[in-house]
Amino acid sequence: MRLVLLGAPGAGKGTQAKKLIEKSGIPQISTGDLLRAAVAAGTNLGKEAKSFMDKGELVPDRVVLGMVRERLGQNDCKKGYILDGFPRNTAQAEALDKMLETLGMPLDSALSVDVPFEDLMKRLTGRRTCKSCGQMYNVYSNPPKKEGACDKCGGALFQRDDDKEETIKKRLDVYTSQTAPLMDYYKKKGILKSVTGVGSIEEIFSKVCSALGC
C-alpha cells in the first residue's frame, strides 16, 4: 500500500492511519508528527518550523520536503507507506511525484476523508493526545475513561498548541486555499478515492478498508 491521506485538519486522518498501521504494518509518515518531534527536540529545523506552526501556517516546502525525502528513504518504507498531512499544496505534490519516481515506489491511491466543515471546529477544539503513546481522544465524542489520562497507558493527555480556536480558523483557511485543490490533482491522475469521515472510528475504518481493498 502506497497511500496519501487527504482531508482537512480534524478529519481523522491520523486516527485512520494508526488503524491502517495496526492492520497492515505499513509505516505512517505524518509530517505534523515529525515537525512536532523536531520542535520538542529543539533542533534548528524545529525552531524554524515552530513559528509557522504556532500561526497555523504551512512550514516552508524546503523544510518539509527534506524531512519526507529522508523518511521515505528508510528501509521500512520499502513495503509501503501512508503519508498523513503531506502533501499540503500542489508544489509538494509535484515534488513528491518526482521523489517517488526516483525511489521507484509511486503512489497507488490518494484517499480523501471528507467531513462537513461545521464538525471540524468541534473535533479540533476537543482533541487531546497522550504524551506517552500518542493515542488520540476527543473530549466530546471519544473521551478517556478518566479525565486527563490515557486509557491505554495512563499517560497525561495534552492539547496541541495549534488546536486553540484562533489557530484552528487559520489552519482551516490554509486547508481550503492550498490543500483542497489536491483532490483535483489526484482525481486527474485517476487515483483519488473518498470516504465520508462521519460516524464511529470503526465505521469509518470499514469504509476506508473497502475503498482501499485492504
- Residue 171 lies near ligand AMP (rule: CB under 6 A): yes
Tell me how far, at minimum, the Cβ of 39 lies from ligand AMP, in Å.
Answer: 9
Sequence-ordered list of residues with C-beta below 8 angstroms from that of 213, at least 6 positions apart, any chain: none
- Interface residue with ligand AMP among 35, 113, 115, 195 (CB under 6 A) is 35
Q: CA-to-CA distance for 111 and 37, rounded, in angstroms?
A: 25
What angle do the packed helices 90-103 and 61-72 form, to 10 degrees? Answer: 30
Has 88 been annotated as catalytic?
Answer: yes
- Residue 12 lies near ligand AMP (rule: CB under 6 A): no
Judged by CB under 6 A, the stretch of 27-35, 123-131, 137-145, 149-157 that binds ligand AMP is 27-35
Has 123 been annotated as catalytic?
Answer: no
Q: Between 188 and 207, how does the x/- string for binding to ligand AMP read (CB under 6 A)?
A: --------------------
The residues in 77-136 that bind ligand AMP, with binding defined as CB under 6 A, are 85-86, 88, 92
Has 69 been annotated as catalytic?
Answer: no
- Comparing CB distances to ligand AMP, the nearer of 56 and 144 is 56
From the list 27, 29, 51, 50, the residue with the least C-alpha distance to 40 is 50
The CA distances from residue 214 to 23, 107, 142, 147, 155, in Å, are 9, 15, 25, 35, 32
The CA distances from residue 8 to 24, 79, 80, 150, 206, in Å, are 24, 27, 23, 25, 20
- Residue 52 lies near ligand AMP (rule: CB under 6 A): yes
Tell me how far, at minimum, the Cβ of 132 lies from ligand AMP, in Å.
Answer: 18
Which one of 88, 123, 128, 193 is the catalytic residue?
A: 88
Query: Cis before residue 87, ω within 30 degrees of 0?
Result: yes
Has 71 been annotated as catalytic?
Answer: no
Strand order in the sheet with 192-196: 28-30, 81-84, 2-6, 109-114, 192-196
Has 128 been annotated as catalytic?
Answer: no
Closest residue to ligand AMP: CB criterion: 32
C-alpha cell at 159: 492539547
Q: CA-to-CA distance for 46 and 113, rounded, in angstroms?
A: 28
Active site residues: 13, 88, 127, 160, 171
Footprint on this chain of ligand AMP (rule: CB under 6 A): 9, 31-32, 35, 52-53, 56-59, 64, 85-86, 88, 92, 162, 171
